[in-house]
Amino acid sequence: MASGYVFTRPDGHSIEPATLTRHFNALLRDACLRPIRFHDLRHSTATLLLEQGVELVVIKELLGHAHIGVTATVYAHVRLRLQRQAIDLLGHALSNLAETMTEPHDGGHPPLRATPVR
């Protein structure tokens, strides 16, 4: 029977939230993992998707947020970290480029120079 619920009892009816929490906590204990809220799985999933390059609008739709601003606000810390990583990668690429270009190639212009970006 397709009830539309993700987690159901064997008869297809919904599981009470307290029952789901109790079973989830038991699984965490059995796996020797620290206690977290079941809802934290949703946040972890969205964070991992964002870190893998999934677009914010897709994550918004998966989470069911009505407005992308909500998603952008909740995950702004992840986006800022990813932006810093992107700037660092660009800085390394420019630094490597500067190391390989020691002689002018067009007869009069100095080689490219790079500086770390912070």
Q: Is the pLDDT of residue 13 over 70?
A: yes
- Measure the CA angle with vertex 86, ends 76 and 116; round to 5°: 120
DSSP state of 8: B
Q: State what percent of residues in the chain have pLDDT above 70.
A: 81
What digits encode the pLDDT tens for the residues 68-101?
999 988 888 888 888 888 898 888 888 877 676 6
How many other C-beta atoms are found inside a 10 Å radius of the C-beta of residue 46? Answer: 21
What digits encode the pLDDT tens for the residues 104-114?
556 666 666 65
| Residue 14, strand partner residues | 8
How far from the centroid of its chain's Cα atoms is residue 72's Cα?
12
pTM of the model: 0.60
Which residues are within 8 A (CB) of 82 and not within 5 positions of it... i.e. 6 or more apart? Answer: 50, 51
